[in-house]
Amino acid sequence: MKKLILVVVISVFGLINVIAQSTVAHVNTQRILDTMPSRKAAIKQMEQFEERAMQELQETQAKLQSDYQKLMAEKDNMVPTAFKFEENRLMKKSQEFQQRQQELEQEIQILGNELNEPILDRVQKAIEIVCKYEKIDYVMDETGLLYAKGKDITNKVIKEVMVLEENPIKPSVSN
């Protein structure tokens, strides 16, 4: 039993020693992302796509409302069977509208993921380059920290990201 306690104590002290020797830093990823020209271009592309999608949906919705109002105005002059057929036609168009709305939401999500993936990869690569050069073991994002007074490598990562933005093949080794 004493040997087990001794092994646990030695293991705990060893773990504390390893943690004490580890280097930790933090970054502000939002600041990094805000400096990237590729992210600004991606945001602009997303906004344009969303704007076109919204315009399409608004036009379709306006047409549906107009058709429904016309149908209701002509209801008294229509045979009940004809009214029912027209009402069913409008219901199908309404369902198609809802389906198209869902498709556009999925397309926006897919496009966002596709545009953001290379940007986030570049940020990750820049962080890895800076960590390797600075001999940093762990990096945390400031946005998730309650208090951050340690080593801030945000500016170094921004410099590295800008190099990667210009030439994704050849990273620099920041100072």
Q: What percent of the chain has pLDDT over 70?
A: 83
Tell me what pLDDT residue 36 has.
Answer: 94
pLDDT digits (tens, 9 = 90+) for 36-54: 999 999 999 999 999 999 9
Residue 173 above 60 pLDDT? no
Contact between 31 and 158 under an 8 Å Cβ cutoff? The reply is yes
Question: Is the residue at 144 inside a domain?
Answer: yes
Predicted TM-score (pTM) of the model is 0.73
151 φ, ψ (degrees, to nearest 5): -75, 120
Position 172 scores a pLDDT of: 55
pLDDT of 55-65, one tens digit each?
A: 999 999 999 99
- Please state the φ and ψ torsions of residue 124, each to the nearest 5 degrees: -60, -45
Q: Is 87's pLDDT higher than 90?
A: yes
CATH of the domain at 118: 3.30.910.20
- Is residue 138 in a domain? yes
> Among 70-74, 103-107, 164-168, which stretch is predicted with the lowest mean pLDDT?
164-168
Would 13 be classed as within a structural domain? no
Cα–Cα distance list, 148 to 22, 153, 175 (Å): 17, 12, 22
Q: Would 51 be classed as within a structural domain?
A: yes
Instruction: Tell me, yes or no, whether 80 lies in a domain.
Output: yes
Average model confidence (pLDDT) across the chain: 86
Bridge partners (DSSP) listed for residue 164: none
| Position 28 in a domain | yes
Positive/negative CA dihedral, 109, 114, 124, 15? positive
Give the model confidence (pLDDT) of 14-25 as tens digits.
545 445 567 889
Q: Is 123 exposed, middle or buried (0-12, 13-18, 19+ CB in 10 A)?
A: buried
Domain that holds residue 129: 23-166
102 inside domain: yes
Region 117-129 average pLDDT: 94
Alpha-carbon distance 61 to 44, whole Å?
25
Is 9 domain-assigned?
Answer: no
Q: What's the domain count of the chain? A: 1
